[in-house]
Amino acid sequence: MDYASEQQMELEALEAIYMDELQVYDGDTPSGGWPAAGNTYKIVVTPQEDGEDGLAGADELEMELLFAHTAKYPEEAPCLKLRSSKGLSDADIERCYRMLMDQVEENKGMPMIYTLVTAAKEWLRGRAAETQQETPEQAQRRLAAEDEAKRAAIRAMGTMVTPENFREWKAKFDAEQRAAKAKALEGLQDTDKARRLTGKQWFMQDKNQAYKEQQHEDEDSSDEDYYDGEHQEGGYASEGRRGLEAAIAGIDFDSDDDEGMLDGEG
């Protein structure tokens, strides 16, 4: 698609339809992705159609529709902004803008500015009818409610983010995170310290354990000093038995002297 050609043809058609109502906007470029190059255009939108008279409340409402073509329009959405010229609250402008954004999604791929202006005009006609049905008290309450809704929305969204206040917030956030991490680490260290023995506690525990083991060995040694029959291997009883066994082993039962002694007795 030749985007530049499509955009130029749409502008020529809009100039033929709206004539002096279509103007090149010479104010400050709106923020929010608005293209730096190219023109921004303004169309004044009112509830009344050309040549129409007597629409109740029509003279009390008016808005400006600002638009600019993006590089790939109409395959992508145009830049769009609404401003109240007469009789419209910020809440009114917001509702109309949301309605136009729905129209943008439905018309992507084709020139849509005329469709958007027509939709905005119809919305104003409906809003004018609502205004005529309201009593002054109702209108006052509605405006007060819309103003409160706006303040609530601002409170919900918070302060607009700028590089300066973001850096300030980030520094504060990082400091809070470091403090929380240090506190958690301190808690872990305290828990670990409570579980560990001090040097003195470790020494005393080890000393007590050694004393208990030595006492147990002494009790075992004292038990071995008593003769307990065939199973006793230590102590005085064991030494006497080993001496008796040695004496018996030293006797030569086959010697001649022994035999003579036996014969003499016989």
pLDDT in tens, 232-264: 444 444 555 555 455 555 555 454 554 444 444
> Which of 150, 176, 196 corresponds to the end of one domain?
196
pLDDT in tens, 42-63: 999 988 776 556 555 567 789 9
Give mean pLDDT, residues 93-108.
Answer: 95
Residues 59 and 45 occupy one common structural domain: yes
Pairing of strands 41-45, 62-68: antiparallel
Give mean pLDDT, residues 9-37.
Answer: 87
Domain ranges, residue 169: 160-196
* pLDDT greater at residue 112 or residue 158: 112
Q: Tell me, what's the pLDDT at 227?
A: 42
Residues 21 and 50 occupy one common structural domain: yes
Q: Tell me, what's the pLDDT at 251?
A: 52
> What is the C-alpha separation between 14 and 103, in angstroms, rounded?
18
Q: What is the CATH number of the domain that holds 47?
A: 3.10.110.10
Closest C-alpha to 78, from 64, 67, 90:
67
> What is the C-alpha separation between 74 and 7, in angstroms, rounded?
8
Closest C-alpha to 235, from 220, 218, 244, 223:
223
> What is the C-alpha separation between 106 and 125, in angstroms, rounded?
22
Q: Is the pLDDT of residue 118 over 90?
A: yes
Residues 207 and 186 occupy one common structural domain: no
Total of domains in the chain: 3
pLDDT in tens, 146-171: 566 556 555 554 555 455 555 565 56
Percent of the chain with pLDDT over 90: 31
Q: Tell me, what's the pLDDT at 125?
A: 87
Q: Tell me, what's the pLDDT at 106?
A: 94
103-117, 202-216, 232-246: range with highest mean pLDDT: 103-117
The pTM score is 0.51
Residues 133 and 9 occupy one common structural domain: yes
Residues 191 and 119 occupy one common structural domain: no
Residues 207 and 240 occupy one common structural domain: yes
Average pLDDT across the chain, whole number: 72
pLDDT band at 29 (very low <50, low <70, confident <90, very high): confident
